[in-house]
Amino acid sequence: MSGHVQADHRQRRRASARRRLLAALFFAAASLPGTAALAQAKGASTAAGPAWNQLSPAQREALAPLAGDWSALPQENKRKWLEIADKYPRLSPDGQARVQARMAEYSRLTPEQRRTARENFQRAYELPRESRESAVQQYQSLPDDRKKELSERSQRKDTPRPGQKQ
């Protein structure tokens, strides 16, 4: 391979690794204990921003998995999704499919799970890169049943019991 082709190949591998890391952090974050209550205590933004019918056809196509949830999304979330929609046409067909699959996963999360994932994502990026990558690798190496167990245990810890302060 020529130097230019090798550099392009390395750049694509790094971008792919970053996307996998971000997705793993986002979806693995819900298994960390104690963050749902914190996210809930901070409160959620009110929905605002452009209505679904105000989006361009290209934006609606890119954001199709979120159509049913769009009106309830906070303005800040809509802004971030619109940034993704603007980049969507430049993605490869595989990249577009991955983005829409992740949007569909996001749309299936409860509002509390979304807040928890956002909070964990933000906390994860306060860590040094090596620590983030190590945590993701450790989580990914767990068997599926252990991941499920951690997630269920985290949800039980974050759910207030009757008479317990939130």
The pLDDT tens digits along the chain (166 residues) read 566 666 665 666 665 555 555 555 454 443 344 433 333 333 344 457 899 999 999 999 999 999 998 998 889 889 999 999 999 999 999 999 999 998 998 888 888 888 888 888 888 888 888 888 888 888 889 898 988 887 777 666 555 545 544 4
pLDDT at 42: 37
pLDDT of residue 45: 40
For residue 109, is it within any domain? yes
Q: Which domain holds residue 135?
A: 3-155
CB proximity list for 112: less than 8 A, separation 6 or greater: 36, 39, 40, 158
107 falls within a domain: yes
Interatomic CA distance for residues 25 and 39, integer angstroms? 17
The secondary structure of residue 64, as a DSSP letter, is: G
Residue 153, pLDDT score? 74
The tokens of 153 are what? 């245990």
On whether residue 166 sits in a domain, the answer given is no
Contact call for residues 153 and 30 (beta carbons, < 8 A):
no
Per the CB < 8 A criterion, the answer to whether 23 and 117 are in contact is no
Quote the CA–CA distance of 76 and 79 in Å, as a whole number: 5
User: What is the tally of structural domains in the chain?
Assistant: 1
Examine residue 53 and state whether it is found in any structural domain, yes or no: yes
In a domain, 160, yes or no: no
Residue 161: its pLDDT value, please?
A: 46
Residue 47's pLDDT is what? 58
3-state SS class at 47? strand
Q: Is residue 163 part of a domain?
A: no
Confirm whether 165 is domain-assigned: no
- With respect to residue 164, please indicate whether it lies within any of the assigned structural domains: no
